[in-house]
Amino acid sequence: MAMAALRREGRRLAPLISPRTITAVRSSPLYPTLEDEGPLGVRHISTQVVRNRMKSVKNIQKITKAMKMVAASKLRAIQTKTENSRGLWQPFTALLGDLPSMSMNKPLICADVKKNVVVTISSDKGLCGGINSTSVKISKGLHKLNSGPEKETKYVILGEKAKAQLVRDSKKDIELIITELQKNPLNYTQVSVLADEILKNVEYDALRIVFNKFQSVVSFVPTVSTVLSTEIVEREAESGGKLVDLDSYEVEGGETKGEILQNLAEFQFSCTMFNAVLENACSEQGARMSAMDSSSRNAGDMLDRLTLTYNRTRQASITTELIEIISGASALEG
């Protein structure tokens, strides 16, 4: 209401000031200036720029909120599957042990694994926080740990994100790249086919699967699961290493013990892969949830700051108008 009264005053005084003689700054579409012309040539400081920014930031906030909810629903769907699949590899670990130390240079134990294969599991889509980078960092660390005169490490990569990072500097060490894993909902058949491919094409003494284990919606632990090949297992069992208990088991069926152990190793690999892929998918959704959440919060903060700037600009323009009117009026009197 006060604005309306001031506008009336402005209109009465405006012809006396004759602003038309002042060249107005032409605002071209390419360079929006801070001034624009109102009715009767009264100039206001423009709030257009700030308003545009506010609109786009608000849209971003809406989008990230929606993405967070989508990730939350996907997480719920896949979480039960993951927890159930954990029971799959536990018996194997109870029997054979998960022995990442199989390659460390321990002078007392003669177990030296010559051919390591690192299976890095990552996501295809981005915007999921830092989980893919941690997986790649660990894979590279394993590679370095196992490099030596006779030893070699090869990569098998699942997922676009790890591929992008590893192709840059380790291109010659990559054996297989598999992407678009999550196009269809994850199930065992798919993973077993994958495991089959890997076992057929890659020579290995030890397979190390690098993935992010899902502990809770906010915590993902990078994990390495080790699957040893049958030769190493037998060697360990005989030489009295950590797997000495294995010999105490009688093996039933099949012609030789080796045959059964071979089947066992392959089965173990596919079970561990299945669990690893599910856990990584869960971690991906959880990480995306928290990333989108912090993004919407940031957008909210930005919006608050922009609103303050907007109000300040608006008030400044009103004040300027007032000053012009009043100084004009006082100039006439005085």
* Sole window of 46-54, 204-212, 246-254, 287-295 interacting with other proteins (rule: CB under 8 A): 246-254
Coil/strand/helix, residue 70: helix
Q: Residue holding tokens 């030890």?
A: 206
Smallest gap from Cβ 86 to other proteins, in A, equals: 7
Q: How far is the CB of 137 from other proteins (least distance, A)?
A: 30
User: Which of 271, 115, 105, 86 lies closest to 207, judged by CA?
Assistant: 115
Q: Is 4 in the site for other proteins (CB under 8 A)?
A: no
- The H-assigned helical ranges of 100-217 are 131-145, 160-169, 188-201
Out of 21, 248, 256, 330, name the contact with other proteins by CB under 8 A: 248
Question: Does position 250 bind other proteins by CB under 8 A?
Answer: yes
- Contact predicate 111/241, CB 8 Å: yes
Biggest CA–CA distance in the chain, Å, is 117
Cβ at position 54, least distance to other proteins in Å: 46
Name the DSSP class of 97: -
Instruction: Output phi, psi for 217, to 5 deg.
Output: -65, -25
* String of contacts with other proteins for each residue 265-304, x by CB under 8 A: --x---x--x------------------------------
Among positions 84-123, residues that touch other proteins (CB under 8 A) are 84-92, 94-95
Q: C-beta of 83: minimal distance to other proteins in Å? A: 7
Residue 327 burial (CB count, 10 A): 11
188 touches other proteins by CB under 8 A: yes
Query: Hey, what are 129's tokens?
Result: 């926080």
Given 83, 197, 238, 304, the residue binding other proteins (CB under 8 A): 83
**Which x/- pattern, by CB under 8 A, does the window 61-80 give for other proteins?**
-------------------x
Q: Which two tokens stand for residue 204?
A: 């290995």
**What stretch of H or E contains 219?**
strand 219-228
* Six-digit token string for 84: 């159930």
Q: Measured from the CB of residue 263, what is the shortest distance to other proteins in angstroms?
A: 6
**Closest CB to other proteins among 33 and 84?**
84
Characterize the bridge pairing of strands 115-121 and 174-178.
unpaired
CA atoms of 316 and 331, how far apart (whole Å)? 22
Shortest separation between residue 275's beta carbon and other proteins, angstroms: 9
Q: How far is the CB of 216 from other proteins (least distance, A)?
A: 18
Residues making contact with other proteins (CB under 8 A) = 80-81, 83-92, 94-95, 185, 187-188, 192, 248-254, 260-261, 263-264, 267, 271, 274
